[in-house]
Amino acid sequence: MSDKVIESQVPNDPNAPVQVAVGDGRTTAIRWDDQETGHLLSEKPRIEPADRIDERVHGMPENWLRTRMRGWMDIEESPGLSWWIGTYTTEGKWIWASSNENSFVPMQHRIDYARRVCRHVNRECSHGGAWFTGWSMGGATFILIWKDPDGDIQLSAPCDRPFTIIQGWALEDWAEHCEQMWQMWCERLDAIELKKSQSAKLAQGQSMNEKQSLAEAPPVGI
């Protein structure tokens, strides 16, 4: 799927997520609900067998899955426009949330598609974190978001290609795309660590040179 990745923006801030645009992709809230019941998760929603996953897709605790998503979607991904996003818990339960007090829900075939992609990419390349999938920008843009093992949002990949096109993409294509994004993120972290290490060695060398110069200087005022 590498030919579908058109642009990647790597921010200077090491704490900022990597933004990856697919096509002309742009990339909005969250009180977490269970899709089957529409009840708040705190009310212990019913779990249907269809929501069970035969194998563990990732290991992130559910409370970490819930945090920081509403603000992120409202501000960064879909400001002022409707959105819907979800993921699977480690127990195989599908949880989701949407804008406008959870009133926005995409058409069922779009929900089913997001769930299939989410299940597959989490099985293939969660890397200790967790992938979310959904629809942003009023439901026009398919989006993937990855949280790292600490629960921080690090990767965001909006795709505004028409659904009639992306529904024909293989699940392996999405997994390859997610893996590429994760590799880019790792390379960025490695570059940041290397730069820090080089800066520290340079500062240490300068300090040693200064001490040596002072030791070799002739005595003053004798």
Could you give the C-alpha distances from 173 to 22, 126, 152, in angstroms and in order?
13, 15, 25
Q: Which letter does DSSP use for residue 180 in this model?
A: H
- Contact between 144 and 86 under an 8 Å Cβ cutoff? The reply is no
- Predicted local distance difference test score (pLDDT) of residue 186: 92
HSE (CB half, 13 Å, CA atoms) of 175? Answer: 13
Nearest 5°: CA angle at 156, between 59 and 97? 65
* 200 within domain boundaries: no
Q: Is residue 12 part of a domain?
A: yes
Residue 196 lies in a domain: no
Query: Is position 47 within any domain?
Result: yes
pLDDT tens for each residue of 101-139: 899 999 999 999 999 999 999 999 999 999 999 999 999
**Alpha-carbon span 83 to 58, nearest angstrom:** 24
Give the count of domains, the chain: 1
Residue 202 lies in a domain: no
Number of H helices, E strands in the chain: 6, 8
Nearest 5°: phi and psi at 113?
-65, -45
DSSP, collapsed to helix, strand or coil, labels residue 128 as coil
Q: Does 177 fall in a domain?
A: yes
What proportion of the chain, given as a percentage, has pLDDT over 90?
Answer: 54
197-221 pLDDT, tens digit per residue, is 676 666 665 666 666 665 565 655 5
219, part of any domain = no
Q: Can you give the pLDDT at residue 208?
A: 62
Distance CA(30)–CA(71), nearest Å, equals 8
CB 70 within 8 A of CB 30: yes
pLDDT above 60: residue 141: yes
Model confidence, pTM: 0.68
33-34 and 94-98 as β-strands: parallel, antiparallel, unpaired?
antiparallel
Residue at 208 is within a domain: no
pLDDT (tens digit, 9 = 90+) per residue, 17-74? 555 544 443 333 333 344 433 333 333 333 333 444 445 678 899 999 999 899 999 9
Longest dimension (CA), the chain: 90
CB contact at 8 A, 48 and 36: yes
- List beta partners, residue 21: 7
Structural domain range at position 108? 2-187
pLDDT at 57: 73
Confidence of residue 195 (pLDDT cuts 50, 70, 90): confident
Q: What pLDDT sits at residue 21?
A: 45
- Segment (H or E) for 110: helix 108-125
